[in-house]
Chains A and B, each alone.
Chain A
Amino acid sequence: AQRVTQPEKLLSVFKGAPVELKCNYSYSGSPELFWYVQYSRQRLQLLLRHISRESIKGFTADLNKGETSFHLKKPFAQEEDSAMYYCALSGPSNAGGTSYGKLTFGQGTILTVHP
């Protein structure tokens, strides 16, 4: 079974401080990991995915298979980063798999960046 855990429900930091949103997962295979963001009253948006190794809005996330983690980091938080962040896991892209493409979400972390 696949599982995603975000241990922090709420996270508050001051503007300019570093921020790290934790995400741990369990999956018997090679998962694909994502971070989604939901700004107030807006839809969920894909922030980044581990396979692209990109940096979006200053955020990065490294997949650590040894620790089964995919923590989201930003060196200098901004007030506009305040939002709900979801870590998500998907099985590998395999059209023949029964769980193909299904996302499993973590519980979400509400990030508040204070001025």
Chain B
Amino acid sequence: AAGVIQSPRHLIKEKRETATLKCYPIPRHDTVYWYQQGPGQDPQFLISFYEKMQSDKGSIPDRFSAQQFSDYHSELNMSSLELGDSALYFCASSLVDGGNYGYTFGSGTRLTVV
């Protein structure tokens, strides 16, 4: 069965560079969530989209932006990267009543900023 696809799997960037992470949700899922998990930390919610509109915003830095496209895939754009941005970024998708069905997570993108 199709799962949530994230690309790339690993990414190494230098400080002050820009990175773009992509998330392809499960077909027919209309909601995408982005989470950031730093080393040894629990996942922190960044932002979510429902039907291509931002539905909620968490602790996402102003240097980051995200959007959901017409095919429901989402991209997380990160600019002026800092060492502290090194983390596992994973997305999840769900149906509109995702609270009843749970979430399906991608494997994540491991970003390393050097």
Contacts and interface: CB of A to CB of B under 8 A. Distances in A.
Decide if A and B are genuine partners: yes
Interface of A: 32, 34, 42-46, 49, 51, 86, 90-93, 95, 98-108
Nearest to B3: A43
Interface string B38-51: 00001101001010
Contacts, number: 64
B102 A46 contact: yes
Contacts of A92: 99
Given A93-B99, A108-B42, A101 B94 contact: yes
B37 to A, nearest CB: 9
Contacts of B70: none
B33 A101 contact: yes
A93 B97 contact: yes
Q: Would you call the interface of chain A mostly helix, strand, loop, or mixed?
A: loop
Interface residues of B, number: 26
Given A93-B100, A101-B33, A103-B33, 15 more contacts: A32-B99, A42-B107, A43-B90, A43-B107, A44-B105, A45-B105, A91-B99, A93-B98, A93-B99, A95-B96, A99-B56, A101-B48, A102-B58, A103-B35, A103-B103
Given A44-B90, A86-B42, A108-B42, A101 B106 contact: no
A113 B94 CA distance: 32
Lowest 9 A-B CB distances belong to which pairs? A93-B99, A46-B102, A93-B97, A44-B105, A32-B99, A43-B107, A107-B42, A101-B98, A105-B42
